[in-house]
Amino acid sequence: MRIAIVSTIAVAILGPSLLLTPLRAQSKDDDAQSKHESAKPEGFKPEQQASKGSVTIAGKAIAYDAFAGTIIVHPKGWDDVPQNREKDDKNLPPEASMFYVAYFRSGDQSAPRPVTFFYNGGPGSSTVWLHMGAFGPKRVVTSDESHSPAAPYPVVNNEYSLLDMSDLVFVDAPGTGFSRIAGKDREKVFYGTDADAEAFADFIAQFLAKYGRWNSPKYLFGESYGTTRSGTLINLLETGRFIDFNGVILLSQVLCYDINADTPQFNPGIDLPYQLALPTYAASAWYHHKLPDSHAELAPLLAEVEHFAMTEYAVALGAGATLPPDQRHAIAAKLHAYTGLPVDYIEKSDLRVNAGQFNKTLFADTDQTTGRLDTRFSGPTLDPLSREAEYDPQSAAIGSAYVSAFNDYVRKDLKFGENREYKPEIDVEKGWNFLHQPPGVPVPLPQAPNVMVDLAAAMKYNSNLKVLVNAGYYDLATPFYDSVFEMQHLPIPPKLQKNIEFKFYESGHMVYAHEAALKDLHNNVAAFILGTANLKAR
């Protein structure tokens, strides 16, 4: 659901068995040895719980087999050789038990069906959001733009599930959801940009073997930080494990953290975040009728703002302290016209307004704060004197519905999770290793993560690989124009740009939280899979 707010300065989880009928009386030594053996940790064990269900899509019922379970993965360098386990958990080799829910269409399997792997981001987020909001067979219904009433939450047949086009695998990152990590240095070996991608690569390879899906058309679908994961992961799969994928589907993309609009003030001299966020400011102000001039349609306004952001605004920011006062005032006036923020506020902010400032200030006259994940949402400002927004109204509005609905569904329908806690999000940001080693570089780089090189390497290695970019106009966590800039600056031959397709929605970060946008998202992703899977629709 969420994406971490990361400053560029900061980036330099079974019971014992019991022998009921002993073959002989035990001596004291035997008894001591038995206690010693039972004290040894057994480690994680793979699990699987099968169930069946049906979902109706476009008026047609689709029966499916569901499998909720875990696959055990190990960090990079694991060689499949069993290791002796010690008494002390701290000396155990690190491993992760990764939870997944897979949905396979029942019936004729004469031709391989596509299989798509879904994950959210954070880092530190489970995949409850994509599962219960977008493409699983059940969908929780939440209020559009406002705080959803408390339970009971309506859970309905998801007519926008992708089971009509692909089998689905929802995967929780290590430590999130029902996934757990254990062993020595477990946080170190699983909580990091590169370590996380390695774990997912191991999971996917094992999943393909377990369920016999090596010859199926294959897709990655990542949201938010999940797109950062996808950039690294697709290169690991393609070049390191010789697993070609048909496509990578990105939703609310962030490949390069240097251009994110959350904390650009801590990276002075890098002005791109302000430029690339401006179209989202304009779209948000237009949606809330905060612009001083009327604009009948959004698309022409955005085209105008995008041009200004990369020309006049770019020149003004580039001039820094040398910008003449009259030009400074003129740029502030244009920014007022495109954002609705007061001219004097813009000038006091040195023509540079970050995302948190915008969220806090757009409704300053009514002490309301707009959403970060979705600026269509708003809520009471926590502190009217704060400089930036202190919470996200959209997260507050719909989080409980998703988490409550899934906790009920996974236990009642999927028969998994009894006596276990499902962790929708975990706090790993402070300890997350954001250092990343791009392909061709001998060491991890002491900079904000940038996986554009990884995605480019995978596209060059497999020139048939297609990419579908999906973005919401009202997303300030990962502004839509960021994705355009990133894809247009991938280090790939010009001819490979044709492998990239863009789709935009009048929604926010969680595009699917707006039902009309969810319908379009389903149709666009289904068409993308149909066009790249080398199979006829089934």
Distance CA 75, CA 174 (A): 11
Distance CA 56, CA 179 (A): 30
Q: 158: exposed, middle or buried (C-beta count within 10 Å: 0-12, 13-18, 19+)?
A: buried
Strands 180-182 and 368-370: unpaired
Nearest to 284 by CA among 129, 481, 148: 481
Distance CA 273, CA 271 (A): 6
**With respect to CATH, is domain 41-258+399-532 assigned 3.30.300.30?**
no
Gyration radius of the chain's alpha carbons: 25
Q: How many CA atoms lie within 13 A of 293 on its CB side?
A: 11
Note down pLDDT in tens along the chain; length 538 residues.
555 544 433 443 323 222 222 223 334 444 444 443 334 446 799 999 999 999 999 999 999 999 999 999 998 877 665 555 554 555 678 999 999 999 999 987 767 899 999 999 999 999 999 999 999 999 999 888 778 778 788 999 999 999 999 999 999 999 999 999 998 889 999 999 999 999 999 999 999 999 999 999 999 999 999 999 999 999 999 999 999 999 999 999 999 999 999 999 999 999 999 999 999 999 999 999 999 999 999 999 999 999 999 999 999 999 999 999 999 999 999 999 999 999 999 999 999 999 999 998 998 888 888 889 999 988 888 787 687 777 677 777 788 999 999 999 999 999 999 999 999 999 998 899 999 999 999 999 999 999 999 999 999 999 999 999 999 999 999 999 999 999 999 999 999 999 999 999 999 999 999 999 999 999 999 999 999 998 754 4
What stretch(es) of the chain map to CATH 3.40.50.1820?
41-258+399-532
The SS3 assignment for 51 reads strand
Contacts of 536 (CB under 8 A, 6+ apart): none
